[in-house]
Amino acid sequence: MIRQRAVFPTASFELPRKLATGYQTFRREAAALAAEEFLPWPETAAYNHGWQVFPFVMLTMPSGFQVDFARHRQRCPESWRLLRDPRVLVAGFSRLLPGCHIYPHSDHPAFDVLRFHIGLSNAGNAGMRCVGATLEQRPGQHYVFDSNLEHEAGNMGRQHRDVLLVDFRLNEQELEELERLRAEAVDDERSSTATVRS
């Protein structure tokens, strides 16, 4: 069975490339927030405990979830300056407390939407799995992935794990690049399978 590629290099997409340069800004402003400023993620069936968020923008909101976006943007003005872009549909800091497990799931974004992560805080034993690819989410590590495919995250460490999470819309050229990357991955897997069989 050919497995669809889920994780892509940041360099292939314009907005994530720009955001990756802001790593120190995102890390500094996230670290300056008090623990009580993070909000529990409201869809509690998606995880066991300890998933918290600090959103800057969410074009669609879970039912009943209330966020003071203006205050969040004022608290992290340099982060918001980098994130303020019409291509950004969702953006915020995502925190997993020790022992948190976000269960395997698939989101349902539009066909032209991908997700960007950059690790901000991780003392170890925390990361994400996406269609067989395991990502450590080390501070400064960044990548783009297709959240429509199954993924999960967990923190088995002793300190919280923070990432910047951004859902962004691709332009026409990036959609073509995405298709090329997916086709390249399928060709590589077919070639590998044929070599093993021969």
Q: Give CA torsion, residues 124, 130, 132, 134, to 10 deg.
A: -20
Longest dimension (CA), the chain: 61
Q: What is the mean pLDDT of residues 152-171?
A: 97
Reported as a pLDDT band with limits 50, 70 and 90, residue 195 is very low
- The confidence score (pLDDT) of residue 39 equals 98
Is the pTM higher than 0.85? The answer reads yes
**Residue 65 resides in a domain:** yes
CA–CA distance, 152 with 147 (Å, rounded to integer):
10
**Residue 127 resides in a domain:** yes
- The confidence score (pLDDT) of residue 132 equals 77
Q: What is the mean pLDDT of residues 173-185?
A: 91
Question: For residue 20, is pLDDT > 70?
Answer: yes
CATH number, residue 100: 2.60.120.330
- The confidence score (pLDDT) of residue 3 equals 56
**Residue 4 resides in a domain:** no
**Residue 2 resides in a domain:** no
Residue (of 37, 47, 33, 50) closest to 160 by Cα position: 50
- The confidence score (pLDDT) of residue 189 equals 46
From residue 97, alpha-carbon distances to 48, 102, 158, 161, 181 in Å are 11, 11, 8, 7, 34
**Residue 122 resides in a domain:** yes
Q: Which domain holds residue 54?
A: 9-169
If one counts every other C-beta atom within 10 angstroms of the C-beta of residue 116, the result is 24
In the chain, how many domains are there?
1
**Residue 35 resides in a domain:** yes
Question: For residue 85, is pLDDT > 50?
Answer: yes
**Residue 164 resides in a domain:** yes
Residue-wise pLDDT for 44-81, tens only, equals 999 999 999 999 999 999 999 999 999 999 999 999 99
- The confidence score (pLDDT) of residue 2 equals 44
**Residue 123 resides in a domain:** yes
Residue-wise pLDDT for 117-161, tens only, equals 999 999 999 999 998 789 999 999 999 999 999 999 999 999 999
